[in-house]
Amino acid sequence: MILITSNDKKRDDDRAFDDIRPLKIEAGVLERADGSAYLEVGGNKILVAVYGPRESYIRRLLRPDTGVIRCKYNMAPFSVDDRKRPGHDRRSTEISKITAEALRPSLMLEGFPRSMVDIFIEVIEAEGGTRCAGITAASVALADAGIPMRDLVVGCAAGKVDDEIVLDLSEKEDKEGQADVPIAIMPRTGDITLLQSDGNLTEEEFEKALDLAIEGCKEVNKVQIEALKEKYAKE
């Protein structure tokens, strides 16, 4: 049972309503990939690799005026309690699509016509909020790959648990909660590049959740920047 009766009361993992889970991001963790990142948030462990920009070998995707991106989000069979059948399912296909759309506005691929950037997101262990964590990590990996960007893209969710709007839902809160609003933003402009809502919210609750999630994104963004500084500032 999760008890949140006022803003001072803690959630069942001792967080306040506006706390994100402990977060760690590392840039450049893979040898062969052009860019990569590893992210842990709460019990989530996510690895992202980026290849490209490289020549698009899929002709129907290529565009003569700009580069394109392709994203594959995948969950490892051992990442969840009941073994997940390997391969793509409908959920991962949808997440791949919205992740690509969330990241695309940040990338300046006009200088790479007919090219393709591949983003591979592997969820090694899942504990709620993997799509946002995947986007956050992928953006760091894209920066690590040296792809020109307007801004980092950062994801975070807010939701409704026991009638309270709270930030960054854990797996348990997501399962027991009443609503989940994952978003992604580009922090410099505040532009929203991903928005979903799942569950029941009133208009006021939605606005509150949206604003809380935006604040959460800004927190996560600081960790993204630190991770890139850690890798590149001293070299």
Partner 1 sequence: MKITPEITRKSITHLINDGERADGRAMDEFRDIEIETDVISKAEGSARIKLGKTQIIVGCKPQIGEPFPDTPNVGVLMTNGEMLPMADPTFEPGPPSEESIELARVVDRCIRESEMVDLEKLCIEPGKKVWMVFVDLHIVDYDGNLFDAATLGVMAALMNTKLPIAKYVDDEVVIDENETMDLPLRDKAAMCTFVKIGDKMVLDPAREEESILDARISIGITESGNICAMQKGGNNPLTRENILESVKIAYSKVPELLKNL
Q: Which residues bind partner 1 (CB under 8 A)?
A: 62-65, 90-91, 93-94, 96-98, 101, 104-105, 179, 181, 185-186, 189-203, 206-207, 210-211, 214
DSSP 175: H
Q: How far is the CB of 181 from partner 1 (least distance, A)?
A: 8
Closest to partner 1 by CB, 23 vs 154, is 154
Closest to partner 1 by CB, 65 vs 235, is 65
Q: How far is the CB of 211 from partner 1 (least distance, A)?
A: 8
Q: How far is the CB of 151 from partner 1 (least distance, A)?
A: 10
Q: Where are the alpha helices (DSSP H) in 105-150?
A: 130-144
The set of long-range contacts for 110-114, using a CB threshold of 8 Å and a minimum separation of 24, is 110/65, 110/66, 110/67, 111/67, 111/148, 112/53, 112/66, 112/67, 113/63, 113/64, 113/65, 113/66, 113/67, 114/55, 114/56, 114/62, 114/63, 114/64, 114/67
Closest to partner 1 by CB, 119 vs 179, is 179
Torsional class of 128: left (φ above 0), alpha (ψ -120 to 50), beta (otherwise): left
Task: Give residue 108's identity as a one-letter amino acid code.
Answer: M
Question: Which pairing describes strands 115-125 and 68-75: parallel, antiparallel, or unpaired?
Answer: parallel
Q: How far is the CB of 119 from partner 1 (least distance, A)?
A: 14
Q: How far is the CB of 58 from partner 1 (least distance, A)?
A: 13
Closest to partner 1 by CB, 23 vs 69, is 69
Q: How far is the CB of 167 from partner 1 (least distance, A)?
A: 17
Closest to partner 1 by CB, 208 vs 231, is 208
Closest to partner 1 by CB, 122 vs 191, is 191
Q: How far is the CB of 193 from partner 1 (least distance, A)?
A: 5
Q: Do 37 and 25 touch, CB atoms closer than 8 A?
A: yes
Closest to partner 1 by CB, 33 vs 213, is 213
- Longest CA–CA separation in the chain, Å: 56
- Between the CA of residue 84 and those of 74, 79, 92, 193, what are the distances in Å? 11, 8, 12, 29
